[in-house]
Amino acid sequence: MQHPTAPIPVGVLGATGTVGQRFVTLLAVHPWFVLHALGASPRSAGRPYAQAVNWKQTTPIPAAVRDVVVRECVPEAFRECTIVFSGLDADVAGDIEAAFRAADLAVFSNAKNFRRDPHVPLIVPLVNTAHLAMIPQQQAQFTPPLARGFIVTNANCSTTGYVVPLHALERAFGPLEAVLVTTLQAISGAGYPGVPSLDIIDNVVPYIAGEEEKIEWETLKILGGLSRADASSPGGAGALAFDMHAAHPLRVSAACNRVPVIDGHTECVSVRFARRPPPSPQQVREALAAFAPDAQALGCPSAPRRTIVVHEEPDRPQPRLDRYYQDGAGVSVGRVRQCAVLDIKFVVLANNVSIGAATSSIINAEVAVLKNVVKY
């Protein structure tokens, strides 16, 4: 794989938001991508970035972008960019991202709007980068076909964290049959200012609108493969489709809770394997610790050097201690043990604003560059 030899100009849509700020922080020091344009709402457009943004990162605003004037999120203002990363509010992401794709820009989005689109890959970069194979078919939907424009989405932040160990287990032991997941989700997942303090301090809120349905559905698209249709398909013979884990039906049930943690989603997971007898807890621990995703083998600069750390201590992972594992790009697992109802249960901790959002988009783009899906 050929690494880029010249900087690739990129833009950020929604650059003033929670996810957008994380994009700016990561892209300001990226070895291949150079920040060229920042976009936000008409409220922010026309103002220097440092004035428009309500900066909430622990590191200062990167010097190179402090005085950059925020642009409106219209394709003409991002013409010189090869790639745009989107941290847009979902209320506006649909139309804006579609316009950028139609203007032949490569869009890597965090928003939910296109995740269910049958031509848009929903990619967790530590799991299913093979789904980039859908891009030519997505481009062929347009008349004339797009030469460079496409949309790739990443997943909901809770989906992202727990599909990494699920994928590692399927790779080692074959298909899963059933998954139960209970989430303890950080406040930052709701953006800024997010959940009112009087609702979340000294409290747990056992409802996050739409979240359980998203986790249950997205898991099947991500862990499923791509299949080729036969001649009876509306797309015609040879058309690609996401198979939604169809060969081995997988039942997923999610229960989502908001907890008073700033960053880091914790998830309690129980799984049942198709294979009988199932693997032992020790075999599961070894498979998780040994897991190395394709993004790592390809040499993506933002991929974690070790993807899953398996804790032996009985009281780990914890958000405060473990959310910066591999700079937020890795996943922490602990308490791997037998489950009396399904087969195995364990706890997962993933940083919702890093691997759950901006870091995923950036690794997705790195893979797409290395696989020549991004034309530059």
Ligand X SMILES: N[C@@H](CC(=O)OP(=O)(O)O)C(=O)O
| Site for ligand X contains 75 (CB under 6 A) | no
| Site for ligand NDP contains 18 (CB under 6 A) | yes
Enclosing H/E stretch for 284: helix 281-290
| Site for ligand NDP contains 43 (CB under 6 A) | yes
Residues numbered 79 to 138 that lie near ligand X (CB under 6 A) are 90, 110, 112
The 8 Å CB, 24+ separation contacts for 308-311 are: 308/164, 308/165, 308/168, 308/332, 308/333, 309/333, 310/285, 310/334, 310/336, 311/335
DSSP annotation string for 219-235: HHHHHS-EEE--TTSTT
| Site for ligand NDP contains 157 (CB under 6 A) | yes
| Site for ligand X contains 359 (CB under 6 A) | no
For 301, residues 6+ apart whose C-beta sits below 8 A from its C-beta are 30, 31, 32, 366
Task: Give the interface size with ligand NDP as a residue count (CB under 6 A).
Answer: 30
C-alpha triplet 106, 63, 97: angle, nearest 5°: 20
List the one residue out of 181, 184, 180, 182 whose CA is nearest residue 204.
Answer: 184
Residue 17: name its binding partner from ligand X, ligand NDP, none (Cβ under 5 to 8 Å by kind): ligand NDP
Cα 264 to the chain's mean position, in Å? 14
Residue 36: name its binding partner from ligand NDP, ligand X, none (Cβ under 5 to 8 Å by kind): none
| Site for ligand NDP contains 353 (CB under 6 A) | yes
Helix H, strand E, coil C: the string for 3-36 is CCCCCEEEEEECCCCHHHHHHHHHHCCCCCEEEE
| Site for ligand X contains 254 (CB under 6 A) | no
Q: Residue from 8, 356, 366, 373 that binds ligand NDP (CB under 6 A)?
A: 356
| Site for ligand NDP contains 293 (CB under 6 A) | no
Binding mask 115-154 toward ligand NDP (x if CB under 6 A, else -) reads: ----------------------------------------
Q: Residue from 214, 245, 323, 345 that binds ligand X (CB under 6 A)?
A: 214
Token code pair at residue 98 = 């579609």
Q: Is the peptide bond before 9 cis (omega within 30 degrees of 0)?
A: no
Quick one: angle between helices 157-173 and 281-290, nearest 10?
110
| Site for ligand NDP contains 87 (CB under 6 A) | yes
Binding mask 306-345 toward ligand X (x if CB under 6 A, else -) reads: ----------------------------------------
| Site for ligand NDP contains 17 (CB under 6 A) | yes
- Could you give the CA distance from residue 38 to residue 46 in angstroms, rounded to a whole number? 11
Q: Does the annotation count 3 as an active-site position?
A: no
Q: Does the annotation count 265 as an active-site position?
A: yes
| Site for ligand X contains 189 (CB under 6 A) | yes
- Contact yes or no for 295/366 (Cβ under 8 A): yes
Residue nearest ligand NDP, Cβ-based: 17
List the one residue out of 128, 247, 241, 255 whose CA is nearest residue 177.
Answer: 247
Report the nearest approach of ligand X to the CB of residue 60 (Å).
26
- Could you give the CA distance from residue 271 to residue 251 in angstroms, rounded to a whole number? 10
Query: Residue 328 corresponds to which amino acid?
Result: G
Report the nearest approach of ligand NDP to the CB of residue 145 (Å).
28
Of 45-53, 184-192, 227-235, 308-316, the window that binds ligand X (rule: CB under 6 A) is 184-192
Report the nearest approach of ligand NDP to the CB of residue 178 (Å).
26
List the one residue out of 47, 10, 15 whose CA is nearest residue 30.
Answer: 10
| Site for ligand X contains 208 (CB under 6 A) | yes
Which residues sit at the interface with ligand X, rule CB under 6 A? 90, 110, 112, 156-157, 185, 189-190, 208, 211, 214, 352
Which residues sit at the interface with ligand NDP, rule CB under 6 A? 14-20, 40-41, 43-44, 73, 87-90, 92-93, 110-112, 157, 188-189, 191-192, 352-353, 356-357
Active site residues: 157, 265
